[in-house]
Every structure is written in structure tokens, then in C-alpha cells.
Structure 1
Amino acid sequence: TQIKRAVKIPVLRKDFIIDPIQVYETRAIGADAILLIVRVLGGRLPEFIALAKALDLSPLVEVHTQGELDAALAAGADMIGINNRNLDTFVTDINASSELKKNIPADKTVVAESAIKNRDDIEYLLKAGINAFLIGEGLVTAPDIGKKMRTFLGEIQS
């Protein structure tokens, strides 16, 4: 709630959501969006998407495989997050986003997640049609987070 009051941008709850009560909590803390992971929710995904939308939350539905993408689209996801990290091996491959994007309807918002290390990665993903980026490790491991953010935004060279 303090974060929501401190910023003017949308706030995403990025967590392992497994229980509907967490969706209600997300609304109560003032978040705008919630991460729903297909691999975690399985067949319960449609229920969680519907609940999030009913509470005026934007569900970011995370996928890593074509099967997960198919499930997300069938469940009514409008915003698809493509995790470039394989959760079995923790190996990252930025090409996961560009490949899966080819199978996502143009009216969906697509977010690349993980493995984004520099502005070149962002440029590559923009050319692939990715709309937005979820960057964690690439920022928090930087010695100067502000400078790294400006690099991601293309304001300065790395």
C-alpha cells in the first residue's frame, strides 16, 4: 500500500498465487495487476483470471511453453507474460519470447520476463513485437540501479 501511494505507475503483485484469498489480498493492498502462473495454477487458471478481473485487477498470465500459452489463451488471458527462464532448469533463453510471440493474437499485450540484461535485448524483443518488459535481476544486481534503468530506457549507452 505504501508503494502504491509512492508511485504513479501500475503496481504488479509478483508472487506465487495459489489461493483465491491472495487475489483478494492483492486488491486490498492496492495493486493494479497480479501475476498468475499457468504452470502453478493449471486447470484453476480460468477461475483466477475471472476473479482478478471481477476485482478490477489486470491478470498478467505467465507462460513458458506453447502448451501453457494455449491454456492461457483458452482461459481468456489478455496480457501474456513469457518467462524466458525455464523453471525446471533455470536456464534462460531470450528467444523464448520471440518464438512464442508468433503464436499470440495481435490484440493481446505481451510482456517478456527474465533474461533481459541490456538495451540490445530490449531492442531485439521490441522488433519481435513484445509490448513490455519485466526486469528484475538485470536491475537489482546492478551497482547503480538508476544508471542501469537509464541504459534500459536507451537514455544512455551501456
Structure 2
Amino acid sequence: MSRIPETLLASVRAQVAAREARMPLAEIKERALARPRPQGRMQALRGERVAVIAELDPVNAECCALVEQWEDCGVGAIAMAPAAHPSPQPWRQLAAVSSRTRMPVLCMDLVVSSYQLWEARAHGADLVLLTAAALPREALVSLVERTASLGLTALVEVRDGPDLGLALRAGARAVLVRAPEHADAEAARAAIRELLPMVPGDVVRVAECGPAGRSDLIAYARQGADAVLLGRAALAGTDPCATLTGLVSIGAHPSLARRGAQTV
């Protein structure tokens, strides 16, 4: 049973239906299959260092310039949430960003339909966020399998033990551990620190960093995180490059380094 408000899910379904009406499934499939097949991108999130995933605002006109700067900072992947905006411009930005970087690109749409997976691949995504709380078990299993069949990597969002159990039963090979909704900063950190060790060692663990980026990264790395996601709010300062360079450096520190890259 979904724990995402039905009103939100209904709104997303309506938006997807409107996009599909403008671009039928056969056309989006043709565009997706015309792109090179994504190649094993999970290794970028599981290596000797704790990788940093940075989220770009898809309506930012400077997206392409920023992603090149962030690549120079040593970021491991870029995240974008294109469908959070009603216009097609964010999807064009996703495609533009993916064409300008060697880093994996994570599409952070709220996925309710396999049509969205084809959209993600057609616009150059390598990874796709699936939300355990938004989908019945059968739907999550189907979408995890379909994501893999398209050459994409599913990153399944989990916020508690039941979410994690659902993700693992669905065959997830990578999870994004986020705090429960409406938790304050300290409760959020505690919840993520508690959930991370529950993730099996053969599953990639990504933790969402809060405003306390540095201390969050260290705490989550010590609980087994392979990577951290830094959201737009945490990068809204005057010098996001300095923020990212600092976190990348911390993630590569010998005290946090993993014992060699692990096979996924």
C-alpha cells in the first residue's frame, strides 16, 4: 500500500498522461533506443572513496556550466528532478547536462509508470529514482526489472525498515536512504544512521546529506554509506564549488576510505 498522498500520485499520473499524449510511447521508445546504452554506472557510486552526488536545479539556466565545474570538483554523479516542473525545459536541460558530462546522471522523478523510464533514458539519464513508498510491491518489482532491461540503474528510495524490506524483495541493488518526512534535523540524522547498517553489504548505499554536510558525510560513511546525495538546498550558498570540493576531499580521506573497490 502506498504511503504517498493519493492526490500527489494522481497529479503525477495526470502529468505523465499529458506528456504521453504529446509524445506517444512508440516515439519516446525510438528516441531512447537511439541513444547509446548506459554502461554499468554503479561503480561510480562504490569505490575506495565515499562518492558525492550533487543535485542540480533543472530550471537553472547555468546547468551546463555548473555541471562542468562540479565535475572538476570531483563529484561522482549529478542528480536532477526534471518532472518537478511543468514545462518541457527541465527535460531539455537533463539532456543537455548528460551530453556535457562523463558523470552518471540520476533522474529524480516520482516514477509511477514505465513511460517515465523511457523518458529518462531518452534524455540521457543513467540512473532512475524509484520510491518504495509510492508503489505497491508488484509495481516496484516490475519497475526495477524494467529499469535494468533498459540499461538503467534503479536507485530505490527508502525511509524506514518496511521500505527497505520492500526494496530488497523487489531486487534493488542500490538504495537511497532518506529520513522520514517532517523529521527535524537531529531525528533525520539518527534515522539515517540507524537504517544504513540494515542494508546488505552487496547493495549500494546512498545517504541523503542534510545542511550539516561535512558531519553528515562522516557519520553516514562510518555506518557504511558508499555515497551521499547533496540536495539543492545544501548547494544554494554563494560558493557551491567550495562546498562540493570540501565534501569530495572528506569522502576521499583515508579514515573513511573503503578497503578497495567492491564488486556490485
TM-score using structure 2 length: 0.55
Residue 58 of structure 1 and its aligned partner are, at CA, apart by 0.3
Q: Determine which of 91, 98, 107 is the counterpart of 2:202.
A: 107
- Aligned 1:22-37 pairs, distance under 5 A: 22-37=116-131
Residue identity in the other structure for 1:113: E
Could you say what secondary structure the match of 1:153 adopts?
Answer: helix
Identify if the C-alpha distance between structure 1 residues 3 and 40 changes in structure 2 by more than 3 Å, giving closer, same or farther: same
Residue 119, structure 1, aligned to residue 214, structure 2 = yes
- Give the structure 1 partner of residue 109 of structure 2: 15
CA RMSD of aligned residues (A): 1.6
Count of residues in Structure 1 that have an aligned counterpart in Structure 2: 153
- Give the structure 2 partner of residue 5 of structure 1: 99
Alignment check: 8 A CA contact 2:157 2:178 kept: yes
Residue identity in the other structure for 1:16: L
Alignment check: 8 A CA contact 1:83 1:112 kept: yes
Residue 117 of structure 1 and its aligned partner are, at CA, apart by 2.5
Identify if the C-alpha distance between structure 1 residues 9 and 65 changes in structure 2 by more than 3 Å, giving closer, same or farther: same
Could you say what secondary structure the match of 2:205 adopts?
Answer: strand
Identify if the C-alpha distance between structure 1 residues 105 and 116 changes in structure 2 by more than 3 Å, giving closer, same or farther: farther
Residue identity in the other structure for 1:58: T
Alignment check: 8 A CA contact 1:65 1:100 kept: yes
Residue 64 of structure 1 and its aligned partner are, at CA, apart by 0.3
Could you say what secondary structure the match of 1:34 adopts?
Answer: strand
Residue identity in the other structure for 1:28: A
Q: Which moved more, 1:60-69 or 1:120-129?
A: 120-129
- Give the structure 1 partner of residue 223 of structure 2: 128
Residue 119 of structure 1 and its aligned partner are, at CA, apart by 1.6
Query: Which portions of structure 1, spanning 4 or more consecutive aligned residues, are displaced by more than 4 angstroms?
Result: none
Residue 142 of structure 1 and its aligned partner are, at CA, apart by 1.6
Could you say what secondary structure the match of 1:72 adopts?
Answer: helix
What is the distance in 2 between the residues matched to 1:135 and 1:51?
Answer: 27
Could you tell me which runs of 5 or more consecutive residues in structure 1 were left unpaired when the two chains were aligned. none
Could you say what secondary structure the match of 1:102 adopts?
Answer: helix
Identify if the C-alpha distance between structure 1 residues 42 and 113 changes in structure 2 by more than 3 Å, giving closer, same or farther: farther
Higher relative helix content: 2
Alignment check: 8 A CA contact 1:114 1:137 kept: no
- 1:40-64 deviation digits (Å, cap 9, x = unpaired): 1232110110110000100000000
Could you say what secondary structure the match of 2:157 adopts?
Answer: strand
Could you tell me which runs of 5 or more consecutive residues in structure 2 were left unpaired when the two chains were aligned. 1-94, 251-264
Which structure has the greater CA radius of gyration? 2
